[in-house]
Structure 1
Amino acid sequence: MDKPTIQLIDNIGLWQNATLEAQQAAIASLLNTTNLTEHFEFIAIEPFSCANLTFNIARFKHIKTNMVFHLIPGCEEYKVGLSPERYQMVVDEFGRSCMPLDENDYEQSYPIKLAPFFMAEFVITQAQWESVGGRKAHRDNAPSAGIDVISKEEVAMLFKPFNLRLPCEMEWEYACKAGSNSIYYWGDEPDLSKAWVSENVPFKADDYRNLTFEEQKPANAFGLVGMIGNFAEWVEDDAYEYNTGVPSQIPHRTGLQSPDGILRGGWLGYDWNLNRSTLRIPCSTSAADTGIGARLAVSLHDLIHDEQS
């Protein structure tokens, strides 16, 4: 693949400032100079807007699973977690108990680098789960409803043969924020038009069900759906406090024999105190509870490396 192409996709700033024609040429070069078409079918580059942010995002269909993925450009200096002022806003509003794991990474003083990756548009649905051999859902929902009550271990095992994995925690957070650095990807105030939470779920507690893709609130500025509210989502990392590890695109491993995993994004059964872009909840990796789901990812560079080696 030619150098200008990879530079454009590696850097969200360069990608955002490029013309649509340059973006289309970069994707065409990516498809023509690698074997990416063995894994993905290109759909289109489409604009997505949220609040005051708009990004053109390349959309693909994963051939073996029919899942839709968005190619998320890399970032040279991604600011992890909440800024100091927003950290204090959250604590003042909800109390320190709203942070099961810390969300302020050294006051955002040490940005990290993230390489480009494919991120699933939505969590794994019931139909997708069962089509690749997942066990039958614990309740009957519509085929396009997300599948929950799935463990981190099940997801990793089931999708490894398809070259798909859980996103690392920083990939997930970066994809959720979608260019923002606010408490939510639409701003600093809760907004019931943007996410399903306990205050606005369209059913009574006794009638709990999983919401379909069609029922979700609007996508974020990367075109990703249901990243706050909806389901708590597994990521690849083991649970840890920011002051004991340095966030990166490499999943964090604690070295413990049976470490907890991390859930991101909140859940529609929680109030706003546990629904935001930077929320981190520790959970046993074997847990398979109501409201726990996952979306999938794969690194662009991993695919290219595998194809060229």
Structure 2
Amino acid sequence: MITIPAGSFEMGLNGVSPNEKPTHQVTIATFAMGKTEITQAQWKAVMGSNPSYFAACGDNCPVEMVSWDEAQDFVKKLSEKTGKQYRLPSEAEWEYACLAGGKNQFCGGDSMDAVGWHSGNKNNPTHPVAGKQANTFGLFDMSGNVSEWVQDSYHKDYTGAPIDGSAWQDDDKQRVLRGGSWNYPPQLTRAAIRFGDKPSNHFNSNGFRVARALP
């Protein structure tokens, strides 16, 4: 886990996709975030099985074929095992951690080839975590490899979004995915890109990383 320092940032991006605006200032409290996406080995250690379509990629590859609902089961069991309260990051926490105080196009820089796996450089679908350049906070694969579930319900834009870093939750029709994945072109792995999907859906391009509050 990496400690993410408290701070404020401008969330979203005007002029690209309607669901990325309006930009708005958000204040984030200190929290901890997974250095990498949850791996197949980590999932198996907590849940006892491996749902991954790309299981042959190996223990150090991100777990995928995991729904938002199943990610909730994982963080609950991990919390019970460790005595620490793990959860999914909020969408605001995710973007703040991705940008790490900068304004790069991708999480960690302006070259997607340097920071993550996408449809133009993947060779294989998923790859072992931490194989590309980390961002300033020391987080790997925030752009690409697998898309990451966050806690929030999906909204068509940021009108009315919280400004305190908390998750924006009002229904279970769709939940948010961030970061893009191995089967997306670079323009769909940008720091501001966001998608929604049903919380029960499974895809071999979707995974997650964990977070927890700090005192």
Question: Is TM more than 0.5 here?
Answer: yes
Partner of 1:56: none
1:227 shift after superposition? 0.3
1:194 Cα shift? 2.3
- Matched positions, count: 206
Kept in 1, the 8 Å contact 2:107–2:115? The answer is no
Map 1:253-268; keep pairs closer than 5 Å: 253-254=169-170, 256=171, 258-268=172-182
- Counterpart of 1:196, as a letter, is W
Give the distance between the partners of 2:201 and 2:153, measured in 1 at CA.
Answer: 14
Residue number in structure 2 paired with 1:71: 3
> CA separation in 2, counterparts of 1:131 and 1:185?
28
Write the deviation string for residues 235-277 of structure 1: whole angstroms up to 9, x where unpaired.
00111121143343221112x3x32000000111100221111
**Residue in structure 1 matched with residue 150 of structure 2 by the alignment:** 235
1:176 to 98, 101, 106: 98
Q: What residue is the counterpart of 1:128 in the other structure?
A: 42
Corresponding position of 2:20: 103
Unaligned runs of 5+ in 2: 80-84
Partner of 1:152: 68
Cα deviation digits, residues 102-155 of structure 1 (max 9, x gap): 1123x44xx221110000000110011011125323442311111001011111
- Structure 2 CA distance for aligned equivalents of residues 271 and 251 of structure 1: 27
Structure 1: stretches of 5+ with no match in the other structure: 1-68, 92-98, 302-309
Distance 1:242 1:285, change over 3 A: same
User: For residues 21-36 of structure 1, what are the structure 2 equivalents within 5 Å?
Assistant: none
Q: 2:142, 2:179 within 8 Å by CA — same for their partners in 1?
A: yes
1:246 and 2:191 equivalent?
no
2:129 is aligned with 1:213: yes
**Does the Cα contact within 8 Å between 1:190 and 1:272 map onto a contact in 2?**
no
Q: Distance in 2 between matches of 1:248 and 1:235?
A: 16
Distance in 2 between the 1:138 and 1:125 partners? 10
User: Quick one: distance in 1 between partners of 2:209 and 2:142?
Assistant: 10
| Equivalent position SS for 2:20 | coil
Match of 2:122 in 1: 201
Corresponding residue of 1:81? 12
How far off its partner does 1:201 sit? 0.8
Return the alpha-carbon distance in structure 2 between the equivalents of residues 288 and 122 of structure 1: 20
Quote the sequence identity (%).
31
Tell me the secondary structure at the aligned position of residue 102 of structure 2.
coil
Using the size of structure 1 for normalisation, the TM-score is 0.63
CA-based RMSD: 1.8
